[in-house]
Amino acid sequence: MGGIRVAGNEVAGLSVAALLRARVGDSHPGYVFEDREWTWDEVVRESAVRASLLDELLACRVGPRHVGVMLENVPEFLFLAAGAALVGATIVGVNPTRRGAELAHDIAHTDCQFVFTDTAQVSLVPDSVETIVVDSPDYAALLVAHDAAKLPADDP
């Protein structure tokens, strides 16, 4: 019985982190969004940057490594999800159709340490919730600070 293959190797049962590590150096298309294309190697590199950032942000937190993401289907969502897989964090998709107390409850109930969002949706997030705005200069600076991040060698 054949399984999913990466470069001719069986990958059934491997973690997402292991699957990503298997794509290092792969110049084949890995992700296409609108008019932009990333190779698998670029996807892994972007994910490693987010993994390093997430690991730093979560290191000083008490509680589960849960991170809310309230974004449309954009590249940053993928890079955050893959980065989370690399460092053992859990991405919680936050529903932008919820508002006020219901949204605050959803975020608290899922133990999100903070929520990644964008300028179009940040006003929906209750003030009591720490947010990271992915299309802000501050976020761009955070990514630059982690640009030299190494890909975690092992599964979290």
pLDDT 10s digits, 63-84: 999 999 999 999 999 999 999 9
User: How many C-beta atoms lie closer than 10 Å to residue 3's C-beta?
Assistant: 10
CA dist 126 and 44 (Å) reads: 32
Tokens describing residue 27: 């110049």
Give the global pTM.
Answer: 0.89
The pLDDT tens digits for 30-66 are 999 999 999 999 999 999 999 999 999 999 898 999 9
Residue ranges and CATH numbers for the domains of the chain are 7-145 (3.40.50.980)
DSSP string, 36-52: EEEEHHHHHHHHHHHHH
Q: Which of 120, 117, 57, 103 is nearest to 83 (CA)?
A: 57
pLDDT band at 155 (very low <50, low <70, confident <90, very high): confident
Say what the pLDDT of residue 3 is. Answer: 47
